[in-house]
């Protein structure tokens, strides 16, 4: 599956957080027992 979003001029952290939000939005309401988010951005992990 592919998707894109025009973010304009933004930080790497912003792009990472938008990607995580978009992924969670795609699976919202699909009755999953659990979800694992993988990222190599420690700042994003701390924010979440």
Q: How many CA atoms lie within 13 A of 18 on its CB side?
A: 12
pLDDT tens readout for residues 4-30: 788 889 999 999 999 999 889 888 988
Displacement of CA 40 from its chain's centroid (Å): 12
Q: How many domains does the chain have?
A: 1
Say if 2 falls within a structural domain. Answer: no
Residue 1 has pLDDT above 70, yes or no: no
- Interatomic CA distance for residues 45 and 3, integer angstroms: 22
Confidence bin at 31 (pLDDT 50/70/90): confident
Say if 19 falls within a structural domain. Answer: yes
- Interatomic CA distance for residues 22 and 25, integer angstroms: 5
Say if 6 falls within a structural domain. Answer: no
Say if 22 falls within a structural domain. Answer: yes
**Phi/psi-derived region of residue 18, left when phi > 0, alpha when psi is between -120 and 50, beta in every other case:** alpha
* Structural domain harbouring 43: 12-47
- Interatomic CA distance for residues 34 and 32, integer angstroms: 5
Say if 4 falls within a structural domain. Answer: no
Say if 37 falls within a structural domain. Answer: yes
Higher pLDDT pick, 7 / 2: 7
């Amino acid at each position: 599956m592919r998707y894109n979003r025009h973010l304009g001029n933004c930080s790497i952290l912003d792009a990472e957080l938008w990607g995580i939000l978009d992924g969670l939005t795609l699976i919202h309401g699909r009755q999953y027992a659990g979800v694992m988010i993988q990222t190599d951005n420690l700042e994003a992990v701390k924010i979440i």
